[in-house]
Structure 1
Amino acid sequence: MTTKTYAASESTPRQRGGIPEPIANLPAPSRSVGIAILFALWAAVFFASLFAPPLLDDADATHSNAARHILSSGDWVTLYVNGIRYLEKAPLPYWIDAVSFKLFGFTAFAAHLPQSIAVFLLALLGYLWASKAYNPRTGLYTGVAVLTSAGVFLFTRVFIPEIWLSLFLATALYAFLQSLEQGKSHAYLMWTSLALAVLTKGLIAPVFIFGTGVVYLALTGEYRQWRRLKPFTGFLLFLATAAPWHILAGLRNPDGFLNGHPHGFFWFYFVNEHFLRFLGKRYPVDYNKLPGYLFWSLHLVWLFPWALFTPLLFAGVRRRVSTILAPTYAARTALLLALYSALVLLFFSFSTNQEYYTFPAYLPLLMLIAAALTRAESTYSEEKSSRRWITFAHAALTVIGVAAAIALFIGLWRSRHLPFVPDIGELLAHRGVGDYTLSMSHLFDLTDSSFAALRLPAALAAIAFAFGPAIAWFLRTKRRHLAATSAIALTSATFLVAAHIALIRFGPMLSSETMAAKITDLRSTRAISPDTKLMLYGDQSYGSSIAFYLGEQLPLVEGVSSSMIFGSSFPDAPKIFLTNANLLATWGTGPRKLLFVPLERRDNLDLVLPVSRQIVLAETSGKALITDRPLDNR
């Protein structure tokens, strides 16, 4: 790897007023090589993971269904899921996915490609911004940290808008800072990015940007440069970009007597989905709030392994208080990122939340950590605090790695004689999965008996954790800082690849694509007649991947829940909602019935429909496809 060397030693501090500061140009790859490194890492971790598993049930396939409906209906204003209005979401991520489906077909690859590209763009933005504000090595560390952090990887496995929101908000922040220096062009970039963020996630975007900007301008005194932000023409550009969709959505989904419904888009989207959601009074109430200690401590997991270097942010903080408002680009960047991160974290600590809601703070936090790490590397030989906290981070990572490796090796040893079972869902301990409302809850299902299906990813992760942290620590003691940090990144990247292999093994449990394939096969072989009626038991989210892969609107038995409630109450909503009484009245009569039953509803169905009247055609991970009569002889 070629590098540009600007100093004789990585550990020689530059003096400014007697205070050691990081070397401005530490040895680092050139810009072209740095971007190539980021691209290669992205391709290995993110692009390679686009092809499997299939779309997962719940949010992943539900949101993909909304994007698919755009193409099938030609309606780019009102989102629909299974024929029902889906008014709680801003449209831009669905527009982007609709274009991807148009280009690449209705596949998991097409559904997740836009998010994967957004991850690379976020890493690239972090690389360029940090390189400009600090030095090329900090830029490289920032980009690499984005691509190897556990939270960034985990929360882009499904189709949710947080990665796009993070990209647009980070771009708006960068353009805000640049516009104070250079004016016009960056100011308009800021307003455009903010508008795109609004079209991605709603009014939370201006709350974060304006809140951060006002405090920043007040603290730095740069409010005198307010004209450079182009507040009047920029705001007009913002409205021209963000307002048309909101106006059209309101006109097509009006309040009151115009549609026979007491509430329409404006109330539901702005009042219900913004203000009432923040207060925990949203209708329907289907969101949890993480306990405070978990909300804050889990960020050590989401930013792992780089969160272990967080103490470096506070090392020598007294010394840097006097320079935090210094008129340097690095100081202004640090202040802006700190204010923005604090606002995002504090906002969601009060609001109802899911684990991934604070995703927009990941890049700013990682950039600050990367800057602190680079600073500590440059003063490693001279400052005890730098050595102490870097040593602490490596010790913690090594202990975590050894513990993880031991646990994985124990699991491999205990499962050495157990057969490989492709359907890992049959081996899990299903404990009240229907009550899970947090995205990580399914981790509690894993049992020893299921470990045999995870031998390959477990072995890969065990090897990475057993050797990677120790090698990184050894390199650090030799003052080979760039190599040491690179070893940490490679360890994390290897673990993420292993994690994705494990996710593929969980595919049969988390996705119902195999059921869609079974239905397609039954139709193609004429084992069922064309007039067969396919239904889902329970909320559409339980089998949303079936609707996506078949491209059909499916009746739901006892399925008016969660995201379906508001849209189903419109007078023109399709009559897709059936009751248990409807099912019993038609079961075994008229056209054949096919019923998909998720694991979460098997017991409920058995109480309503005797097992003797169920003919199981397929079963995987506790999910079943049943019919009301034997298959046709044809």
Structure 2
Amino acid sequence: MKELHKNKTLVWTLFIAFAAVLLGVLRARTLVPPDEGRYAEMAREMFASGDWITTRLNGIKYFEKPPLQTWMNALTFEVFGLGDWQARLWTGLCGLLGVGLTGYAGMRVFGARIGFYAALVLGSSLYWVICSQVNSVDMSLSAMMTIALCALLVAQRDDATPSEQRNWMLLCWAGMALSVLAKGLIGLVLPGGVLVFYTLFSRDWKIWTRLHLVKGLLLFFLIAAPWFVLVGLKNPEQPHFFFIHEHFDRFLKKEHHREAAWYVFFVLLAVGSLPWVGVLVQGLVLGARGERGGQDAPARFKPRLMLLVWTAFIILFFTKSNSKLPGYIVPVFPAVAMLIANYLDVGTRRSRMLTAALTALFGAGLLGFVPFMLRLARHPGEDLLYAAYQPWVLAAGLVLLIGGALSMLYARQMQRDLTVLVLAIAGFAGTQLLLAGFEPIGKVRAGTNLMPALAAAGATDPATRVYSVGIYEQSLTYYLKRTVTLVDYWDEFTFGLEQQPQLSIPTIPAFVQQWRADAAAGVRSVAITRPEIAADLQRQGVPLRIVAADARRTVIATQ
């Protein structure tokens, strides 16, 4: 049996290749709305204004999330300039950091082979790879929480020295503080809840004496508190909105219209774990089993139980929430990866063969799905986009089918390391193909196909007035590199516009009056709107010309 995990040259080569591909493909796709465009535009405005305290979207105060994602994106723009890969660089680094930390913690806590497996599992899990290449706050939060989780595991292991325990626990507290700066109080609530339930299940009451609470809390507040103090001083309305509306109201009320079926996160966990879904349940069950310390003595700290509680508590916490978005459970995947790695180390050959077979079956399913992809088109003419996507899905299906079959062969031959490695490469490569081929669809969703016409109409000229009527294009605003005047659009801007109502036009009749005034005064004006609104304006005799249109939006300008 080939002991690949002992070959340090191979391990580092794999990690460098993984990093090169993960970061190299960040430039391959347009920023897809809503999240990618939103966070890129917030960072662009921070970069342009130099205001690193008050976060804004389209020039309007925007306090739904803390600033870590915006800070890091703006810092990237400062160093490398504006661009698609620059907007995704922080997210990509977060994904890479998560894989590295998970592998390192797995090695320190469970052994070299399990650390090797854990990195391979996480670095090839469908959901982690996708989120590592999408400019969204969920991966930022997940990486910071991975710092907290991995530091806690390394600090609390039975053979940790006092200095190791102190230093790693301080890193854990820093990770929680950064998690709060990434997405709010859940950066503290989730690890805190995990610790409480772990204590109840393990009866390891003394763990609370090993947390370095005083030093840890001081470090936590030193990192997390300054921005909240500064933004509250500059914007007295921010604390109530952020802490009450964005935390308690979002969790308890349905006003955000983000409800979903109670089982949605369990489905996402299974799908997101591909190609490892065949050993997902076994890995979770392993977390509930007893752990042994040295010389068959009971272990003081139970890391597998901690990983299971981490996974279960986060999923159940958001299952009870009235607001359910897919990105909420991304932080569980490092813990799941370590549990799966533990099972891959001790599990049966049959289970590894089953996992490989399910991967091959999923690849075959993608191949069978290809002829039906045109039915996914929801707007006229977009069937051509899905036709262009078909070869990429076909290639991904072939990679997963062949990789699964080859992995099944190695599993049959009792080549554990090769089985896991081949399956990981197939999962990672298949996901990259699915992402890369999405670009034609992503460009239409972002609206960048309209950019030449918008530029010709003067929309990129600061002297031109640009309106967004009944719609807000998250990505298109970023590519215009300027803010627009909202018309009859509230949604996520509601709170900000209550503070700054002068930054929008509340109704379409008021917009028509302004538009006519612009036309009479010879002011060049451009508006982005929905096709039905443009048609209605034409019926009203509003002076306009259509300069560009697609199935989703229409661009009009003064005559």
After TM superposition, the score normalised by the length of structure 2 is 0.90
Q: In the aligned structure 2, how far is the partner of 1:166 from the partner of 1:80?
A: 23
Displacement after TM superposition at 1:209 (Å):
1.3
Paired letter, 1:395:
A
Per the alignment, do residues 450 and 340 of structure 1 end up closer, same or farther by CA in structure 2, a change over 3 Å counting? Answer: same
**Is the CA contact (8 Å cut-off) linking 2:469 and 2:527 kept in structure 1?**
yes
Q: Larger deviation: 484-493 or 219-228?
A: 219-228
Q: In the aligned structure 1, how far is the partner of 2:416 from the partner of 2:548?
A: 55
For the pair 1:367 / 2:342, whether they are aligned, the reply is no
Per the alignment, do residues 315 and 477 of structure 1 end up closer, same or farther by CA in structure 2, a change over 3 Å counting? Answer: farther
Per the alignment, do residues 529 and 251 of structure 1 end up closer, same or farther by CA in structure 2, a change over 3 Å counting? Answer: closer
For each residue in 1:430-473, what CA deviation from the matched residue of structure 2 results, as whole angstroms up to 9, or x when unmatched?
A: 39xxxxxxxxxxxxx985x5443124313322321342211211
Match of residue 228 from structure 2: 246
1:92-103 to structure 2, matched below 5 A, reads: 92-103=68-79
Q: In the aligned structure 2, how far is the partner of 1:530 from the partner of 1:236?
A: 47
Q: In the aligned structure 2, how far is the partner of 1:122 from the partner of 1:135?
A: 18
1:42-441 to structure 2, matched below 5 A, reads: 42-44=19-21, 46-180=22-156, 181=160, 182=162, 183-224=165-206, 226-254=208-236, 264-281=237-254, 285-313=255-283, 320-321=289-290, 323=292, 332-351=302-321, 352-376=323-347, 386-408=348-370, 410=371, 428-430=377-379
Per the alignment, do residues 307 and 495 of structure 1 end up closer, same or farther by CA in structure 2, a change over 3 Å counting? Answer: same
How many residue pairs match? The answer is 546
Per the alignment, do residues 531 and 101 of structure 1 end up closer, same or farther by CA in structure 2, a change over 3 Å counting? Answer: closer
RMSD (Å), alpha carbons: 2.9
Paired letter, 2:149:
L
For each residue in 1:258-285, what CA deviation from the matched residue of structure 2 results, as whole angstroms up to 9, or x when unmatched?
A: xxxxxx111100011011111025xxx2
Match of residue 496 from structure 2: 567
**Is the CA contact (8 Å cut-off) linking 1:151 and 1:303 kept in structure 2?**
yes
| Structure 2 SS opposite 1:569 | helix
Paired letter, 1:473:
M
Match of residue 16 from structure 1: none
Match of residue 494 from structure 1: 429
**Is the CA contact (8 Å cut-off) linking 2:547 and 2:555 kept in structure 1?**
yes
**Is the CA contact (8 Å cut-off) linking 1:84 and 1:574 kept in structure 2?**
no
**Is the CA contact (8 Å cut-off) linking 2:292 and 2:298 kept in structure 1?**
no
For the pair 1:460 / 2:389, whether they are aligned, the reply is no
Displacement after TM superposition at 1:149 (Å):
1.3
**Is the CA contact (8 Å cut-off) linking 1:152 and 1:302 kept in structure 2?**
yes
For each residue in 1:303-336, what CA deviation from the matched residue of structure 2 results, as whole angstroms up to 9, or x when unmatched?
A: 1111221243267889x44759986779722111
**Is the CA contact (8 Å cut-off) linking 2:273 and 2:280 kept in structure 1?**
no
Paired letter, 1:479:
M
**Is the CA contact (8 Å cut-off) linking 2:469 and 2:508 kept in structure 1?**
no
Match of residue 434 from structure 1: none
**Is the CA contact (8 Å cut-off) linking 1:134 and 1:330 kept in structure 2?**
no
**Is the CA contact (8 Å cut-off) linking 1:584 and 1:609 kept in structure 2?**
no
| Structure 2 SS opposite 1:506 | helix
Per the alignment, do residues 179 and 314 of structure 1 end up closer, same or farther by CA in structure 2, a change over 3 Å counting? Answer: closer
**Is the CA contact (8 Å cut-off) linking 2:284 and 2:336 kept in structure 1?**
no
For the pair 1:37 / 2:37, whether they are aligned, the reply is no
**Is the CA contact (8 Å cut-off) linking 1:65 and 1:82 kept in structure 2?**
yes
Match of residue 14 from structure 1: none
For the pair 1:509 / 2:485, whether they are aligned, the reply is no
Q: In the aligned structure 2, how far is the partner of 1:511 from the partner of 1:234?
A: 43
For the pair 1:577 / 2:505, whether they are aligned, the reply is yes
Q: Which runs of 5+ in 1 are unaligned?
A: 1-8, 11-25, 255-263, 377-385, 416-423, 432-444, 630-634
Per the alignment, do residues 137 and 355 of structure 1 end up closer, same or farther by CA in structure 2, a change over 3 Å counting? Answer: same
Displacement after TM superposition at 1:230 (Å):
1.8
Per the alignment, do residues 574 and 311 of structure 1 end up closer, same or farther by CA in structure 2, a change over 3 Å counting? Answer: same
Q: Which runs of 5+ in 2 are unaligned?
A: none
Greater Rg over alpha carbons, structure = 1
For each residue in 1:511-534, what CA deviation from the matched residue of structure 2 results, as whole angstroms up to 9, or x when unmatched?
A: 12343443334449xxx9874322
Match of residue 624 from structure 1: 554
For each residue in 1:200-235, what CA deviation from the matched residue of structure 2 results, as whole angstroms up to 9, or x when unmatched?
A: 111111111112223334544543354432211221
1:8-23 to structure 2, matched below 5 A, reads: 9=1
Per the alignment, do residues 533 and 134 of structure 1 end up closer, same or farther by CA in structure 2, a change over 3 Å counting? Answer: same
Per the alignment, do residues 519 and 188 of structure 1 end up closer, same or farther by CA in structure 2, a change over 3 Å counting? Answer: same
| Structure 1 SS opposite 2:336 | helix
Using the aligned pairs only, state the percent identity. Answer: 23
Paired letter, 1:391:
M
Per the alignment, do residues 242 and 328 of structure 1 end up closer, same or farther by CA in structure 2, a change over 3 Å counting? Answer: farther
Match of residue 535 from structure 1: 467
| Structure 1 SS opposite 2:548 | strand
Per the alignment, do residues 266 and 391 of structure 1 end up closer, same or farther by CA in structure 2, a change over 3 Å counting? Answer: same
Displacement after TM superposition at 1:143 (Å):
1.3
Paired letter, 1:575:
L
Displacement after TM superposition at 1:535 (Å):
1.2
Q: In the aligned structure 2, how far is the partner of 1:71 from the partner of 1:201?
A: 20
Q: Larger deviation: 218-227 or 470-479?
A: 218-227
Displacement after TM superposition at 1:99 (Å):
0.3
**Is the CA contact (8 Å cut-off) linking 2:68 and 2:182 kept in structure 1?**
yes
Displacement after TM superposition at 1:346 (Å):
0.7
Per the alignment, do residues 275 and 394 of structure 1 end up closer, same or farther by CA in structure 2, a change over 3 Å counting? Answer: same
**Is the CA contact (8 Å cut-off) linking 1:287 and 1:353 kept in structure 2?**
no
Per the alignment, do residues 512 and 611 of structure 1 end up closer, same or farther by CA in structure 2, a change over 3 Å counting? Answer: farther
Paired letter, 1:184:
R
**Is the CA contact (8 Å cut-off) linking 1:56 and 1:512 kept in structure 2?**
no
Paired letter, 2:361:
V
Match of residue 589 from structure 1: 520
**Is the CA contact (8 Å cut-off) linking 2:265 and 2:326 kept in structure 1?**
yes
**Is the CA contact (8 Å cut-off) linking 1:42 and 1:147 kept in structure 2?**
no
For each residue in 1:355-411, what CA deviation from the matched residue of structure 2 results, as whole angstroms up to 9, or x when unmatched?
A: 1101110110111011101212xxxxxxxxx23433332332232222322333x46
Q: In the aligned structure 1, how far is the partner of 2:207 from the partner of 2:328?
A: 33
Paired letter, 1:66:
M
Higher share in helix: 2
Q: In the aligned structure 2, how far is the partner of 1:300 from the partner of 1:276?
A: 29
Paired letter, 1:304:
L
Q: In the aligned structure 2, how far is the partner of 1:388 from the partner of 1:83?
A: 58
Per the alignment, do residues 331 and 234 of structure 1 end up closer, same or farther by CA in structure 2, a change over 3 Å counting? Answer: closer
Paired letter, 1:485:
V
Q: In the aligned structure 2, how far is the partner of 1:489 from the partner of 1:529?
A: 48
Q: In the aligned structure 2, how far is the partner of 1:556 from the partner of 1:178?
A: 50
Q: In the aligned structure 1, how far is the partner of 2:183 from the partner of 2:263?
A: 26
For the pair 1:607 / 2:536, whether they are aligned, the reply is yes
**Is the CA contact (8 Å cut-off) linking 1:288 and 1:354 kept in structure 2?**
yes
| Structure 1 SS opposite 2:503 | coil
Q: In the aligned structure 2, how far is the partner of 1:52 from the partner of 1:136?
A: 34
Displacement after TM superposition at 1:573 (Å):
4.7
